[in-house]
Every structure is written in structure tokens, then in C-alpha cells.
Copies of this chain bind each other. A is one copy, B any other.
């Protein structure tokens, strides 16, 4: 498994910090938003004498309460059959790939996509076939004909992330209906990473793969509380499907790793009671940040940044030769008032060699004041870099 372009930058960021420079991190999906108090308090006040294993599919009380959460999302699930609590969305993805596919099987994923999908595909011995989406169309779903070109007897599934990391793109119902027809035509699995469900903007409708009638046995939903409650370190996710063969296979893998974390589950169960006001505020905050970031970027000479409708990322095309080089240069050789910015080169999100060479992903996970300084660094950096 090769190191990703972001990880290659980490030592440069550490070096810059050691040298006393302030580094603004727009490179990671770690929000600065506070975790809901109801979640933190549940962990503080839990009366545990022995930290025991939970059920391999997760605590029964948590699964039952989650049914209510999903019901409010218009997703009907059975707490005993359709859901396995996982150690983060990461494990949900890994287990799903191992449960749905055999070694050597192929899956089609619109690129750019979350780079860790490669790690899980590698571990499950599954081959990723990318189908490209483009910045010019805001990374909307690639044409179905492009998917079909990649389908062969080894193709067993499609993986989507909606709303998208790293694109922020929110798929429309029409796009999902096209995918559904494709899934039916070739009897494929449709795995959907919907961990940014709570982060949809501008009144646009979120459509889950679980809302698509007639492909219930093909659909696997991958979820996580990391972003929803800003609780990435709790390591709680979920794998959901109506396909009993998939769930039986997934349970075997879940049993081999024994159980998801106890405290994370206690917190996650309590977090379901997070008041609506929390999400309203968080959404308001992200919309303000997004609008500021996208507007500021598009004002910079030669920069293109489509306005995303979901998640807390955007991808920007920069007037540069090579994003890997530029991002390293920002950390290694540049400073603006003793500050610099760390961005994620988009190359790590594309499988096609050379794709995304002049694109970066920006996570708007910092307060507006820091975002302002970070973007100032980027603007000045672009000018200095291009003069060299």
C-alpha cells in the first residue's frame, strides 16, 4: 500500500511547526466543532465496574435506539437483522468489502474518492476501477455510459460517497435513480458511504441509497457518527443492509474482532438525543465557512472552485504545475507573517495517474478567522510560487 500524498506531507508540517511557524490545517476532516454535551456527559456519568465486551453487532440498546434515528431519516431498519455497529466508518467499509466481494472482484468508484477506500480495497483484495468526475461539472455523477464501459464479468459493485468526500458533491435523486437502474441491470452491489448526511446545504434534498425502492438486497449503507457529532475519536460506525447473506458474512468478521468500543457506544447512544438546535447551529457555521471559502478562492486569479452542496470539503483548481510539489513547498519553503497552510493535494483522491495534478482539497473545518488567514497564505503563496 503506497503512502498517500497527504501523509507524505506530514513530516514537512511537523518540521514547519518545530521551526515556530503556524500551520493552518485545511488538509484533514477533523472538525473543530464541539461534540454534543449529551454525548460527553453520558460517558462521564456511565457507571461501569468492568469494561466488558459488548455484543459483536453492538449494544442491543444502542441498536434499538438507532432505529429511531434512521426512522427520522426515512430509513426503516430492523435492529436485530439489518445493522452491525462497527469501529468507525472505516471498519464498516472494510467489513462491507470483505463481505460483498471475493478476492479479484472489481468495484467501480467515481473519482476523486476518499483515499482510504484504496487501503480497504487492498486489504479485501478488491480491484478499484475509477470512473472520473470533473471539477467543471461540480463533480456530479459521471455518465452511466462511462460506468458501463468499465463493467465486465468481474465487476461486482459500485461504491459512492454521498455527500462526497473530497468533493462536497450531493447527488440528486435523478442521479441515484440512474445508478439504481445500472445496479439492477448488472445485479451489482451498491455500497454508499453517507457519513455526511447531516451536512446538506441550500435546502437541497438528501437521498439515501436506502430510499431507492427495488434494490434493497443490493444496497449496503456505511455510516459513522464521527462527523455527525464531531466525535471522530469515538470510533463508532455502522454497516446496514437488508441482504441477509451480506449481514451474516459481516457478522462473522465482526465476531472475529469481538466488539466495537464500549465508551464510544455509550456516547453514541446518548448522542441520538442531541437537540435539533445543535445541528442548526453547526450547519449555519459550515454554510458561512463554505460561502466564505468558495467566494474567496474564486476571486483568486486562475482559481476555480465549484460550490459544493454537502459535507465540509471543496476541491479547488489552482494555477500551478503540480499540487504535490506546491503543497510541500508551502510547508517547506514558504511563510507569510510566520504562517503557512497545509492543503491536501487532490492527486491522492484520484486513481488515474496525472488526474487532479493541479487540484487541492480544502476542508473548511476551522473558524472563519483562521480560514481567512489560511486563505491569505494560499493567495500570497500562489503568487510567490509562480514567480519562482
User: Could you tell me if B53 and A123 are in contact, using CB atoms closer than 8 angstroms?
Assistant: no
Task: Pick from A232-240, A301-309, A324-332, A372-380 the stretch touching chain B.
Answer: A232-240
- Max chain B CB contacts within 10 Å: which of A28, A40, A46, A255? A255
Return A238 CB to nearest CB of chain B, in Å: 15
Number of A residues near B (Cβ < 8 Å) is: 58
- A123→B54 CA distance, assembly (Å): 22
Return A40 CB to nearest CB of chain B, in Å: 6
Q: Is A94 an interface residue (CB 8 A)?
A: yes
B residues less than 8 Å from A35 (CB atoms): 48-51
User: Could you tell me if B234 and A261 are in contact, using CB atoms closer than 8 angstroms?
Assistant: yes
Q: Is A187 an interface residue (CB 8 A)?
A: no
Query: A88-B257, A261-B263 are known contacts. Are A233 and B54 too (CB-CB below 8 A)?
Result: yes
Task: List which A7-50 residues lie within 8 A (CB) of chain B.
Answer: 7, 28, 30-35, 39-40, 43-46, 48-50
Return A157 CB to nearest CB of chain B, in Å: 18
Task: List which A32-76 residues lie within 8 A (CB) of chain B.
Answer: 32-35, 39-40, 43-46, 48-54
User: Could you tell me if A267 and B51 are in contact, using CB atoms closer than 8 angstroms?
Assistant: yes
Residues of A within 8 A of B (CB): 1, 3-4, 7, 28, 30-35, 39-40, 43-46, 48-54, 87-88, 90-91, 94, 98, 103, 116, 118-120, 123, 125, 229-235, 249, 252-253, 255-264, 267
Q: Which 4 A-B pairs have the closest CB atoms?
A: A119-B256, A233-B262, A263-B263, A261-B261
